[in-house]
Amino acid sequence: AAAVTRLAAARGLDVLVTSAPLASAALEQALRRDLLVVAAAAAVAVIIALLLLLRRGYAVLAVLVSLLVSAALFCALLVLCGLSLDLYAALLAPLLIGYGVDDHIYIARETLRDGAAAAYARSGRAVITTTATSVGAIGALWICETEGLRRLALSASIGLTVTMLCALLVLPALLAVGGRSRH
């Protein structure tokens, strides 16, 4: 493409060379750049929301650490399933942050108020059910013939499930440790 453009320019022609691979590469580069901005904006919004809702620094930190654990597990499971951290997986980041924060907020608020057992009793079933319906809905993409959409379905299902499990298992443990260290 560069050689054709130079040759055309030498002859005084204005040429635009395009193809599926060139367009795909340009789109991927733009999305990578934009995803960094989106991820940063999402992180700031999440931290502000957590500070307003939880009002305890250690609780906000516990949620953030639990979300980081879920992100690490998500990446590890993608690799174990033979999926790469490709553009489809990167596009899931804002979605997984949003769903994951929801589950974490429900469990954190209940745990801070009345303990983990009460949190499970009041919110556990709802967290599991809402995550299962989301996994089912996005998992329906698995029947698509497009390989990218199938990878997206599997990646999203893994991410949503891991994030829910961290909200139910990792977060209460972190809150218990943080709560004890404050007394």
DSSP state of 82: T
Span 25-83, pLDDT tens digits: 777 777 777 777 887 888 899 999 999 999 999 999 999 999 999 999 998 999 999 88
Tokens 């999203």 belong to which residue? 156
What tokens does 29 get? 């580069």
List, for residues 116-143, the tens digit of each pLDDT value. Answer: 999 999 999 999 999 999 999 998 998 9
From CA 128, how far away is CA 121, in angstroms rounded? 12
Domains and CATH numbers, the chain: 38-182 (1.20.1640.10)
HEC readout, 136-167: HHHHHHHHCCCHHHHHHHHHHHHHHHHHHHHH
* pTM of the full structure: 0.79
Q: For residue 95, which of 146, 48, 38 has the smallest C-alpha distance? A: 38
Lookup: tokens for 81? 């399933």
